[in-house]
Amino acid sequence: MLRPVREVFEGQDAPDLLVGLGAPDDAALWRLDDDRALVVTTDFFTPVVDNPYDYGAIAAANSLSDVYAMGGKPFLALNIAALPPDLAPEISAEIFRGGAEKAREAGVVIAGGHTVQDKEPKYGLIALGFVDPRKAFTKGGAKAGDALVLTKPLGFGVIATALKQQEARAEDVAEATEWMKRLNASAAALAAEFGVRGATDVTGFSLLGHGLEMARASGVGLRLSYDAIPVLDGARFYAQSFKFPGGAYDNRKFFGSSITFDGVLEEWEQLLLFDPQTSGGLCLAVPGERLKEFLKKAEEKSLPAWVIGEVVQDSPEIVVKR
């Protein structure tokens, strides 16, 4: 579907476009000068929780995450929304308030936006940020010897699906909601401090899908330790009943041929790694020689950080070991 867009711009002279349609990265990168590049991204989606304020906050955190995934600092945003005409005004207002307060927490100003009518609510942001182009994160920045560090647990997709099926426990939804509302700002700042250059955020294509994008862009292999990957307890519970969103099966179908499971894993355990995430954590390729110091600093700052594997000099594929 995107081929016509690529064909229109293919070969166009745009030397300041550092990251664009040619790479499956988290945001576009446009060089302003030697010290600054503009990070530009957009994202929006239908509700993943019932509370309109939380939905707005999660959508904003998710949109801003792509700026953090490039090592940038967001500063400006526009609302983008589609709302049913019969939706109560107070509900719409809560969605916008959730997004606005999350943006303010991130130091971002929402300066306007655009809204249309639709049958199902959709909300998100167009987000802009700045980054030093010499220090930007990309999916192609991982190197053999780097450690893979994840900054949020998995399982948001399967819990959201259980909620839609009215089978989710309130405490599981609350836990997932708090994680999804959490900004990736501090994790990105710490990664920049320790010289990380390879990174992505874990969202709709799942840990394995986005991880495979990193592997292919960097020309390396990834080795993951299944038991080291954090998963919410509630997600494990619903996964055993196969309450996965359709996207988990789509991800497995699309990326599965490049994934090897080395060890006995139940089907539901494998699917958890294909589970689409909303406002997931960052997957960082931390230089191996700085990992110990990185983890110490993360602990001092009370920042979650799980070492889930390593980058190896191999064909661009992923091996998951148990």
Contact 49, 173 (CB under 8 A): yes
What average pLDDT score do residues 122-135 get?
Answer: 98
Q: Where are the domains of the chain?
A: 3-131, 139-321
Task: Give yes or no on whether 3-131 and 139-321 have one common fold.
Answer: no
What average pLDDT score do residues 79-86 get?
Answer: 98
pLDDT of 179 strictly over 80? yes
Q: Strands, E, within the chain: which ranges?
A: 17-19, 28-31, 37-45, 73-83, 109-117, 122-131, 147-150, 198-201, 221-225, 259-262, 282-286, 306-312, 318-321
pLDDT of 112 strictly over 90? yes
| pLDDT tens track for 20-61 | 988 889 999 999 999 999 999 999 999 999 999 999 999 999
Q: What's CA 318's distance to the chain center, in Å?
A: 18
pLDDT at 3: 84
Q: For the whole model, what pTM was predicted?
A: 0.96
pLDDT band at 72 (very low <50, low <70, confident <90, very high): very high
pLDDT at 205: 97
Cα 302 to Cα 70: distance, rounded to the nearest angstrom: 22
Domain 3-131: top CATH class:
alpha beta
Using alpha carbons, list the distances in angstroms from residue 25 to 90, 223, 315: 36, 21, 20
Contact 285, 137 (CB under 8 A): no
Q: Does domain 139-321 have CATH number 3.90.650.10?
A: yes
| pLDDT tens track for 198-216 | 999 999 999 999 999 999 9
* Nearest C-alpha neighbor of 309 from the set 182, 200, 222: 222
pLDDT at 10: 75
What average pLDDT score do residues 131-153 get?
Answer: 98
Order of strands across the sheet that contains 37-45: 17-19, 28-31, 37-45, 122-131, 73-83, 109-117
